[in-house]
């Protein structure tokens, strides 16, 4: 009995153990595949509208794919029939577009496959803040006009609601990942992961944790959009730690407008890459402080073969290969884009051209897709450092190709341009550059390239003339350009640092790109981004020093060039090399070093238009706002001077009316006073009065006399007496014995 | 000598009468009655000469004595209008959309700018067009030339002697003198580069130039028919011009020195009316009472004389 009992207990325990092991095995077999999700940036709590979050899922088995969708943090659960999470994911979420094409408007179809080489699934998520509308909802009675209920009845709902949800700081959402593992011998395993919570903030330019800037005390700053992230980071270093008011009040705009605002004294601080070359008015005393390295780039956008999935099937992804363009290729593409497509004879994109032979990724594309027609080359409109330095380089190093040739006419040299709009002027009705007014517009154009003109799942390419910071921020891949040694160099922090060693004096306290000599690692279009600060102290309207703003200005620039600021540069910007950092520190002391009296005098002087005829710089068309989209003809190239009404092209570019200029005109008109009567003194009104009397009497008197009527006696007597009086007065005046009447005998 | 008797009754020769005899002062000779003129060749000549002189005096008085007052009145109205235009332009530049560029040229006769000559202490509102009727109100912007303050050659013509003679002292401008122009786009400063007296050359003075300039034109003579020699002042723009705006085209006659032939009709009507009223007044003065005739005919003659003078002046060169 005892033995039997022990045996039974043993068997029970054994069964329990076996059962546990089996259950564990079954559970393990059915559990979700182990994987890891990494994001860049790592902290999703601070993402803002417009940011791009890079998602990477690793550790998935072969054949896995991932779909991403933006969903409410808590998935709604109101479907009538299929209430599984997968069904709710399909109904209440909006697929994250752009994973494959980098187009924000092109949804993923079928999920993003695992890359057979890297064993990861990579997805770019462009953050969008605000209301999001879900896809097609079928079984939710609250949001469907017709549905079949659980009893099989067809129900009609008049005016059904639209389902949408908000994503912002107060309404967090989640990026849900649908991980699909396909198995050959059993149904695909689907796992839903909603762990990536995002609460997109508004992209106000105000750093997180800072209060709104205080008017008067904040430093009014104008900066090209490419510097916005860096400036925000520097500002954040100053105000975030103490939750203080923002030190700067920023306005991101086109570079020409940025400098125009500083030139006129409307901004305390500005940023530029080209000193005074784009300034229309150079009278304001200024100091240039280098803050970072940047580069003019031609970036490629589109799709290339991104690898093969685990089954060996190729799939496409954003272009990551840095194409190699010679300067001749670049000059031809930019100055004669319409003749450079893959089907034009002798074009840079044609089969067997030097460019195509040099770049296998281009060679693998269909000829017509190597430069997507019509929208194949984009750039920002308006005066900018980019066109200035690019045209200088091509003028000196590719002059034989840096020529307009719209038709069969003789080529015309392009020379120096300060705005990409000017590259359209030399092409008659044809358009070289599809220009955009802002970076957002530019990005939309390039999204359109991928969406509408690149055929689905085929490699294709378009190009954008921009800077390295913008290209990096938006995920565009810069091409490699040859430097003076002939080496093709891509813009990287290392090549920028090497290029900085070859910058030359621009003559205004700044440096511009120079020959890179034999340096094989230098990128040829490297330039320094400068903070432009006034030498004279900041003063307010009544000409009192703005002490707080002056301190903020110095702190902002000091932070930018300090180690903290150099470590917080925006994407794509490279820190200053030692020589430039030393220059920057020297120049910090000059900010605000002038006298208040000089500042006041300068402030008054800036109210008037510049007096020197040569004050206008090549970028003086900053006020002219070209139409977005930039299908601009010759007239849009306002930087080249404007035509007068009588058809004469004059040398000086025109300026648009501004509040200050019209106010000056108003002041003049207000100061003018026209009296009712001309002349001064009593003669003013007397002369017209006497004239009226004469006109009243003379015709009637003539008519009276013409009638043959005698002169009335009273009139004759009056005339005689008046004649006598005037006669006596005349006698006395002539005799020097004039005595006033009553003056005594 | 006259004898006067005083008494209660006249006495006969037989009766003794107390008679007082006073010696009265001698009477003055009566004033001769004014004689009416006798009609004849001399009278007719006198009447014709008298009316010609009257017409000449009226013409002169209207233009040279009343003209400045009329011009001042037009200038005041134009100044009010151009101030309103600038106010609206300022509002536009301060709006979210910014200033809107004009899409059509200014209408003839409307003010386009305020002009200041600091050295001459002179302000004038510039109107669009250089027909005599427009230059009677102020200096006129020559159609077909660039807008004031805008790229290219902008030309203005003004009167030398009539209607306030705004450009009478133009020849006193010297190189370096400032000319300031205020338009709806802003304030522009021109600096005089030269003053010349020479025949007007439309191709040179109103044509294309390689720089942004202002050309001022007026007559050199007080003689109203002078149309050949001009005082031409050129000034170059300092700083950048404002964006070009559409301008009116220029007809041959719009050169500042041509008359307005359309004024013939007005002249014929006004002069005809004046002649009729003058004849009627002459007849009435001969037949009717002086004061009544005056009250009845003087206003009509005044009005018609002024209209005739204005019409006649419009036939003469616009810069006179």
A residues 249-308 near B, CB within 8 Å? 280
What integer pLDDT is reported at residue A26 of this predicted model? 47
φ, ψ of residue B191 to 5 degrees: the values are -120, 130
CA dist., res. A590 & res. A554, Å (int): 10
Cα separation values, B215 from A501, B130, B154, B236, Å: 53, 14, 6, 9
Asked if the C-beta of A698 comes within 8 angstroms of chain B's C-beta atoms, the answer is yes
Beta strand A403-404 with B213-219 is: unpaired
The answer for residues whose C-beta is within 8 angstroms of residue A710's C-beta and 6 or more apart is B34, B35, B36, B37
User: Which residue of A lies nearest to B61 if distances are taken between CA atoms?
Assistant: A691
User: A700–B187: do the CB atoms touch at under 8 Å?
Assistant: no
What integer pLDDT is reported at residue B25 of this predicted model? 56
Which of A282, A624, A707 would you mutate first to test chain B, the one with the most B CBs within 10 A? A707
Which of A282, A635, A665 would you mutate first to test chain B, the one with the most B CBs within 10 A? A665
Asked if the C-beta of A504 comes within 8 angstroms of chain B's C-beta atoms, the answer is no
Q: pLDDT tens for residues B190-200?
A: 999 999 999 98
CA atoms within 13 A on the CB side of B170: 30
Q: Tell me, what DSSP letter sits at residue A574?
A: B
Q: Which residues does chain A have within 8 Å of residue B193's beta carbon, measured at their own beta carbons?
A: none
Q: Which residues does chain A have within 8 Å of residue B114's beta carbon, measured at their own beta carbons?
A: 665, 668-669, 672
Q: Which residues does chain A have within 8 Å of residue B305's beta carbon, measured at their own beta carbons?
A: 695, 699
Asked if the C-beta of A691 comes within 8 angstroms of chain B's C-beta atoms, the answer is yes
User: B68–A679: do the CB atoms touch at under 8 Å?
Assistant: yes
Determine the distance in angstroms separating the CA of A717 from the nearest CA of chain B, rounded to an integer. Answer: 12
Say which of A612, A645, A664 has its CB closest to residue B146.
A645
The answer for residues whose C-beta is within 8 angstroms of residue A683's C-beta and 6 or more apart is none
User: B116–A616: do the CB atoms touch at under 8 Å?
Assistant: no
Mean pLDDT, chain A cut into blocks of 10 residues (745 residues total): 67 70 51 78 80 85 85 85 84 68 42 81 79 77 80 80 85 89 80 88 74 87 92 90 88 88 91 92 92 96 80 79 95 90 87 94 90 81 94 93 82 90 75 84 73 70 94 91 95 95 92 93 96 94 89 94 92 94 94 90 79 39 32 31 40 70 86 78 81 87 82 78 81 53 35
What integer pLDDT is reported at residue B247 of this predicted model? 86
Q: Work out the angle at residue B6's Cα, subtended by the Cα atoms of residues B3 and B9, and round it to the nearest 5 degrees.
A: 120
User: A665–B183: do the CB atoms touch at under 8 Å?
Assistant: yes
- Chain position carrying tokens 């003659």: B301
What integer pLDDT is reported at residue A32 of this predicted model? 52
Q: Work out the angle at residue A561's Cα, subtended by the Cα atoms of residues A557 and A562, and round it to the nearest 5 degrees.
A: 110
Q: pLDDT tens for residues B231-276?
A: 999 999 988 888 888 888 877 777 888 888 888 999 999 989 988 9
Asked if the C-beta of A367 comes within 8 angstroms of chain B's C-beta atoms, the answer is no
CA dist., res. A246 & res. B27, Å (int): 112
CA dist., res. A620 & res. A615, Å (int): 9
Asked if the C-beta of A614 comes within 8 angstroms of chain B's C-beta atoms, the answer is no
User: Which residue of A lies nearest to B166 if distances are taken between CA atoms?
Assistant: A678
Residue-range domains of chain B with CATH: 61-91+104-238 (2.40.260.10)
Which of B32, B53, B54 would you mutate first to test chain A, the one with the most A CBs within 10 A? B54
What integer pLDDT is reported at residue A649 of this predicted model? 40
Q: Which residues does chain A have within 8 Å of residue B237's beta carbon, measured at their own beta carbons?
A: 613, 652
Beta bridge partners of A39: A55
Please give the helix or strand (H or E) that residue A316 lies within, else none: strand A314-318
A residues 711-730 near B, CB within 8 Å? 711-713, 716
The answer for residues whose C-beta is within 8 angstroms of residue B251's C-beta and 6 or more apart is B143
What integer pLDDT is reported at residue A737 of this predicted model? 43
User: A664–B242: do the CB atoms touch at under 8 Å?
Assistant: no
**Nearest in space to A381 (alpha carbons), one of A422, A420, A335:** A420
Asked if the C-beta of A657 comes within 8 angstroms of chain B's C-beta atoms, the answer is yes
User: B94–A659: do the CB atoms touch at under 8 Å?
Assistant: yes
> Residue A662 region, left (φ>0) first, then alpha (ψ -120 to 50), else beta?
alpha
φ, ψ of residue A527 to 5 degrees: the values are -145, 165
- A-B interface: how many C-beta pairs under 8 angstroms? 276
Beta strand A377-380 with A434-436 is: parallel
What integer pLDDT is reported at residue A527 of this predicted model? 97
Determine the distance in angstroms separating the CA of B8 from the nearest CA of chain A, rounded to an integer. Answer: 42
User: B79–A655: do the CB atoms touch at under 8 Å?
Assistant: no
What integer pLDDT is reported at residue A734 of this predicted model? 59
Say which of A665, A690, A713 has its CB closest to residue B86.
A665
Read off the pLDDT band of B8 (50, 70, 90). Answer: very low
CB A140 within 8 A of CB A109: no
CB A411 within 8 A of CB A420: no
Which of B32, B113, B121, B243 would you mutate first to test chain A, the one with the most A CBs within 10 A? B243
Q: Which residues does chain A have within 8 Å of residue B44's beta carbon, measured at their own beta carbons?
A: none
Single pTM value for the model: 0.53
Cα separation values, B248 from A229, A578, A645, B136, Å: 49, 61, 9, 20
């Amino acid at each position: 009995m005892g033995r039997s009992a022990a045996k039974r207990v043993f068997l029970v325990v054994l069964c329990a153990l076996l059962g546990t092991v089996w259950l564990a095995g079954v559970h393990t077999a059915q559990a979700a595949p182990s994987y890891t999700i990494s994001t860049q940036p790592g902290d999703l709590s601070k993402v803002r509208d417009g940011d791009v979050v890079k998602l990477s899922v690793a550790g998935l088995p072969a054949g896995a794919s991932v779909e991403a969708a933006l969903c409410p943090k808590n998935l709604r659960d109101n479907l009538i029939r299929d209430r599984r999470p997968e069904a709710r994911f399909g109904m209440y979420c909006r697929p994250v577009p752009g994973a494959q094409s980098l187009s924000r408007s092109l949804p993923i179809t079928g999920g993003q496959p695992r890359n057979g080489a890297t064993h990861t699934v990579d997805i770019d998520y462009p953050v969008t803040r605000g209301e999001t509308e879900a896809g097609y909802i079928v079984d939710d009675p609250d949001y469907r006009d017709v549905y079949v209920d659980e009893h099989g009845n067809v129900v009609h709902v008049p005016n059904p609601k639209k389902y949408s949800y908000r994503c912002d700081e107060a309404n967090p959402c989640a990026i849900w990942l649908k991980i699909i593992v396909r198995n050959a011998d059993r149904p695909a395993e689907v796992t839903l992961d909603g762990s990536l919570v995002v609460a997109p903030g508004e992209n106000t330019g105000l750093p997180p944790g800072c209060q709104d800037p205080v008017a008067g005390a904040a430093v009014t700053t104008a900066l090209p959009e490419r510097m916005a992230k860096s400036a925000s980071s520097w500002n954040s270093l100053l105000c975030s730690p103490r939750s203080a008011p923002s030190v700067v009040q920023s306005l991101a705009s086109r570079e020409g407008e940025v400098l125009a605002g500083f030139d006129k004294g409307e901004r305390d601080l500005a940023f530029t890459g080209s000193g005074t070359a784009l300034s229309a008015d150079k009278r304001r005393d200024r100091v240039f402080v280098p803050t970072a390295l940047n580069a003019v780039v031609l970036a490629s956008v589109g799709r290339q073969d991104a690898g093969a999935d685990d089954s060996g099937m190729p799939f496409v992804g954003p272009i990551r290969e840095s194409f190699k363009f010679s300067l001749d290729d670049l000059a031809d593409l930019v100055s004669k884009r319409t003749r450079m497509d893959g089907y034009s004879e002798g074009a840079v994109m044609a089969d067997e051209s030097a460019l195509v032979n040099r770049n296998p990724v281009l060679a693998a594309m269909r000829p017509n897709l190597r430069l997507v027609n019509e929208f194949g080359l984009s750039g920002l409109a308006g005066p900018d450092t980019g066109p200035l330095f690019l045209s200088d380089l091509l003028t000196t190093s590719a002059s034989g190709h840096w020529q307009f040739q719209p038709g069969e006419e003789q080529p015309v040299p392009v020379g120096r341009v300060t705005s990409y709009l000017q590259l359209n002027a030399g092409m008659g009705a044809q358009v070289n550059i599809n220009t955009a007014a802002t970076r957002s517009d530019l990005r939309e154009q390039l999204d359109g390239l991928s969406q509408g003109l690149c055929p689905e799942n085929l490699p294709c390419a378009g190009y954008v003339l921009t800077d390295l910071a913008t290209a990096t921020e938006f995920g565009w891949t810069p091409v490699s350009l040859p430097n003076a040694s002939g080496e093709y160099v891509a813009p990287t922090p290392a090549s920028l640092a090497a290029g900085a060693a070859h910058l030359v004096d621009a003559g205004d306290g700044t440096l511009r790109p120079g020959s890179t000599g034999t340096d094989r690692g230098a990128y040829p279009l490297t330039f320094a981004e400068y903070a432009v600060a006034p030498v004279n102290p900041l003063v307010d309207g009544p000409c009192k020093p703005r002490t707080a703003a002056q301190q903020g200005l110095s702190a902002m620039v000091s932070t930018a060039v300090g180690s903290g600021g150099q470590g917080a540069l925006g994407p794509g910007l490279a820190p200053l090399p030692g020589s430039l950092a030393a220059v920057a520190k020297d120049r910090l002391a000059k900010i605000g070093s002038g006298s208040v009296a000089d500042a006041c005098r300068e402030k008054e002087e800036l109210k008037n238009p510049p007096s020197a005829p040569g004050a206008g710089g090549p970028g003086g068309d900053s006020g002219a706002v070209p139409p977005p989209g930039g299908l601009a003809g010759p007239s849009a190239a306002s930087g080249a001077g404007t035509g007068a009404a009588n058809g004469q092209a004059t040398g000086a570019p025109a300026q648009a009316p501004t509040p200050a200029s019209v106010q000056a005109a108003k002041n003049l008109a207000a100061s003018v006073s026209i009296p009712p009567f001309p002349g001064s003194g009593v003669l003013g009104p007397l002369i017209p009065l006497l004239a009226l009397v004469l006109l009243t009497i003379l015709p009637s008197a003539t008519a009276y006399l013409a009638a043959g009527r005698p002169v009335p006696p009273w009139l004759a007597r009056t005339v005689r007496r008046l004649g006598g009086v005037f006669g006596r007065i005349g006698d006395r005046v002539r005799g020097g014995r004039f005595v006033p009447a009553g003056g005594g005998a | 000598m006259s004898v006067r008797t005083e008494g209660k009754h006249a006495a006969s020769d037989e009766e003794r009468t107390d008679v007082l005899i006073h010696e009265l002062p001698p009477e003055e000779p009566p004033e001769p009655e004014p004689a009416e003129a006798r009609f004849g060749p001399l009278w007719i000549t006198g009447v014709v000469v008298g009316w010609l002189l009257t017409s000449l005096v009226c013409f002169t008085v209207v233009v040279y004595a009343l003209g400045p007052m009329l011009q001042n009145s037009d200038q005041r109205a134009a100044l009010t209008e151009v101030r309103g235009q600038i106010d609206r332009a300022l509002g536009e530049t301060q709006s979210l959309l910014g200033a809107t560029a004009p899409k059509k040229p200014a209408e003839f006769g409307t003010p386009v700018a305020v002009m200041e000559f600091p050295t001459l202490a002179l302000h004038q509102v510039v109107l669009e067009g250089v027909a005599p009727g427009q230059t009677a109100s102020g200096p006129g912007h020559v159609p077909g030339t660039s807008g004031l303050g805008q790229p290219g050659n902008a030309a203005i013509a003004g009167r030398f002697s009539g209607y306030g003679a705004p450009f009478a002292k133009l020849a006193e401008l010297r190189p370096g003198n400032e000319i300031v122009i205020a338009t709806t786009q802003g304030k522009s400063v021109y600096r005089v580069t030269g003053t010349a007296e020479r025949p007007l050359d439309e191709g040179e003075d109103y044509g294309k130039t390689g720089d942004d300039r202002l050309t001022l034109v007026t007559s050199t003579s007080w003689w109203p028919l002078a149309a050949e020699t001009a005082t031409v002042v050129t000034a170059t723009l300092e700083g950048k011009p404002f964006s070009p705006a559409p301008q009116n085209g220029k007809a041959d006659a719009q050169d500042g020195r041509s008359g307005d032939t359309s004024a013939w009709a007005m002249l014929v009507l006004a002069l005809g009316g004046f002649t009729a009223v003058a004849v009627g007044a002459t007849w009435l003065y001969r037949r009717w009472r002086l004061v009544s005739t005056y009250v009845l005919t003087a206003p009509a003659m005044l009005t018609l004389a002024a209209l005739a003078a204005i019409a006649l002046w419009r036939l003469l060169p616009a810069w006179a």
